[in-house]
Copies of this chain bind each other. A is one copy, B any other.
């Protein structure tokens, strides 16, 4: 069924002369990698093709984009100039209207030519006339690799041109925490090996996209760790970042991403949470866990915790925006984590 969907998408793309490839807002490595690989494949086939990125854009990925045609949408600006009415639009790495933000209106107008390639569990079924969705794939790039191979009539990833293998590798690396996270399996590593053989450069990609933080990141990491509380017999790690922390070190929100993973190295920690003050009455929540643990009297399915606050994600990684100030959000969170029912 997945194969059939990818085959249909490939044949639609083969017939198209002009294709736009869109992804979710604040594109991450998998979103950028998926779009670039597909656009470059289509260009190689002699078509017009462009990647469309809903804001905000992370400059760290400019090094990977290089001179591939892209449109970076402006915040609150809902027209897509440079890709008005292509023959086909491929949405990659999402199938959620809420995720495509500034491109939503344009996608709805062109609904009859929208194709989807995604690996998330949440799917808005009214997006896409054809959708290839595999929630078991560690990255959208795994599905996009299959699509690119099919379009180029190649048998294996190692045969891909290097400039197509490179963004695919980035996507695979990003969504697996650079091959560290529990979602790593033999398919992931075999594909990654093939993409390196095709000419992707692991060390260069790591340097260009991961080792590009500002010094303020380390100052914020120090503050996050200084705020650390180990609760519930050291099974819950909780860090809190206030607006004043950001101001005093001159940091932006982006300087403080991903800290929630750090406390998982401690043996006793089952759930890690970071609360970030997002306004007077709003607190951003990031959650991680080591996986469902039925023997525990605390909730370790962080998707369930996030859903309490209208958010979501997976068992081991989730997030939400809590409509409460930081201190109150902390209390609500601890209630949700304690499983006294």
Contact = CB atoms under 8 A, between A and B. Distances in A.
Nearest to A183: B203
What 10 A-B pairs have minimum CB-CB distances, sorted nearest first? A179-B179, A182-B203, A222-B225, A189-B193, A186-B196, A190-B193, A186-B197, A212-B267, A178-B180, A213-B265
Interface string A210-226: 11111101110110011
Contact of A222 (B222, B264, B265, B290): B222
Contacts of A206: 180, 182
Interface residues of A, number: 47
Contacts of A213: 265-267
Chain copies in the assembled complex: 2
A243 interface: no
Interface in A152-171: none
Interface string A70-96: 000000000000000000000000000
A185 B196 contact: yes
Interface in A205-245: 206-207, 210-215, 217-219, 221-222, 225-226, 228, 230, 234, 237
B182 A179 contact: no
Contacts of A185: 196, 202
A188 B196 CA distance: 10
A125 interface: no
A226 B215 contact: no
Contact of A211 (B179, B189, B225, B266): B266
Interface string A105-135: 0000000000000000000000000000000
